[in-house]
Structure 1
Amino acid sequence: MLLTIILLTIIICLLLTYVLILLNRYQYFKQRNIPTPPYRFFFGHLKTLWNAQLKSKQLQEWTKIYGKIYSLFEGSTPVYVVSDVNLLQEIFIKQISNFNARKLTLTPIPPTSPHASLLITGGNTWKRQRQVTNPTFTTTKLKQMSALIKDCVDAFMSKLPRHCDSGEEFNIYALYKRMTMDVIFRCAFAVDTDMQTDTENIYLKRANNYFSPEYNRLPILKLRFLIAEIDSFLCAMLDKINLVKRKLKSLISSIHDDDRSRLYSRIEDVIKMRSDKAKQRVDLLQLLLDAQKIR
């Protein structure tokens, strides 16, 4: 009985301490006179963002109300929202040495995983990946890709007259999305997907499902947002799960061949095809393959 009372007392003290810590965090922007929309304790602004049809639209609405520099809370984590071009240039260009860290994207792949991409990882791993990909976006390289981009834009423009002549409303976002995917696959992987004509294209289907908004609503990702203190533990747990999945890849693929594994499989086929070719074109994929050889 005494032990139970002691344990309950400890738990209550810990909860009260955590609540006080959260209350103190929520004073962060108030102490700095930075405007912030109304928020909920523990959730911050996450519930509003999760329920929004488009996160970008919600941020735009807040920008109209609170200006080009305001604040949000992801759970209890303070976040600045900046749309002032001059300040962004100051941060990302002029003072890049002082602001070289990046906000990590929460995904089922931990940032410490060897399979983490540029959008997920951080620190020295992010820096190396960024150095490898930077040459792809030089003026010279982009000019070499301009013909590929122009072909995709021309295909996009050829689709518009049919929609305009009908006089009916249509969702131009779907056309933009297929054009963008064509550009990415042609410039990054040297693969002519022609998604603008082939709406049943396998790459397009898998990518649509992979980047579905529901993907970002996974409970474990929400938990990482809400309780930043357990992020390291969840990352370690996810890393172990992914390790088991990789070891049982063939078995898992046959039992649960989901869109993510199918998309990865398709990309692996492209990488293998490019690796086997003697003559290669200069693009993002080739830079990554070359970097892997000298690693």
Structure 2
Amino acid sequence: MTNKREVVLNPFLTSMQKRIIKIHYIGQTPILTVGDPELIKSILVKDFHIFSDRSNVRKANNFINRSNLFRLTGDDWKRVRSIVSPTFSSGKMHKMYPKIRECVGDLMNHLESLTLTNREMDAKLIFGSYTMDAIATCAFAIKTNIYGNPDNPFLTNAVHTFEPNIVQELATLLLPTTVMKWLQKFMKKNTTIFFVKAIQE
């Protein structure tokens, strides 16, 4: 005997499966991953004004994280984006080019000096240092001398900021926002304070 419900739903499910890659959960939040190119185009271009918000699955645990473009939504996102966007105009990027070129020169000199030692190189650390040097130079107008000073505060604080912490990641995903607000006062804030001071100065 044919199941009527199965007959009715199967064409719908088959159609949906062609447009969706996967439905999964992050913590308690359902996530829909779209795979249909035309649907993706509509989301990113035609209907972008509806889908401009980023994922808010992971609850930010401090003001700095809550205030960046990847966390903001609605009018707050539009306001901050209008402030940040001019920074990346073609004219501003053109002005940054000499500074980035100078950072690349420092990187090349550092790599050349390392080849003379005939030792193994930590590529991740070297290019991470270059990235931080370029950011510090362009965004903060600070010359870091990062290759000659491995304990440079910009580098150490950046490494600490992006260092994975599985306990904190799980807590952010699973615990309610009210609990995370209470726990955040016990979390390390030194790196946040460092970068806030760098911006203020």
Question: Common fold, TM-score beyond 0.5?
Answer: yes
2:174 to 223, 245, 256: 223
> What is the percentage of aligned positions where both structures have the same residue?
22
Q: For residue 145 of structure 1, what is the aligned residue in structure 2?
A: 96
CA displacement, residues 136-182 of structure 1 (integer Å, 9 cap, x when unaligned): 01111111111111111111122223444556543322111111111
Q: For residue 265 of structure 1, what is the aligned residue in structure 2?
A: 193
Contact residue 195 and residue 204 of structure 1 kept, 8 A: yes
CA separation of 1:73/1:202 partners in 2, compared to 1, >3 Å: closer, same or farther?
same
Q: Secondary structure at the match of 1:143?
A: helix
Q: For residue 238 of structure 1, what is the aligned residue in structure 2?
A: 180
**What is the identity, as a one-letter code, of the residue corresponding to 1:106?**
R
CA separation of 1:115/1:32 partners in 2, compared to 1, >3 Å: closer, same or farther?
closer
Number of aligned residues: 186
Q: For residue 55 of structure 2, what is the aligned residue in structure 1?
A: 103
**What is the identity, as a one-letter code, of the residue corresponding to 1:100?**
S
CA separation of 1:169/1:129 partners in 2, compared to 1, >3 Å: closer, same or farther?
same
Q: Identify unmatched segments of 5+ residues in structure 1.
A: 1-27, 36-68, 225-233, 246-251, 253-257, 274-295
- Comparing 69-78 and 207-216, the one that deviates more: 69-78
Question: CA RMSD, aligned part only?
Answer: 3.5
Q: Identify unmatched segments of 5+ residues in structure 2.
A: 1-11
> What is the rounded CA distance, in whole Å, between the counterparts of 2:179 and 2:152 in structure 1?
35
Give TM-score scaled by structure 1 length: 0.52
Superposed, 1:1-295 pairs within 5 Å as 32-34=16-18, 70-71=21-22, 73-75=24-26, 77-80=30-33, 91-93=43-45, 95-104=47-56, 106-109=58-61, 116-118=66-68, 119-164=70-115, 169-214=120-165, 217-223=168-174, 234-242=176-184, 245=185, 260-273=188-201
Contact residue 129 and residue 155 of structure 2 kept, 8 A: yes
Contact residue 182 and residue 196 of structure 1 kept, 8 A: no
Give TM-score scaled by structure 2 length: 0.72
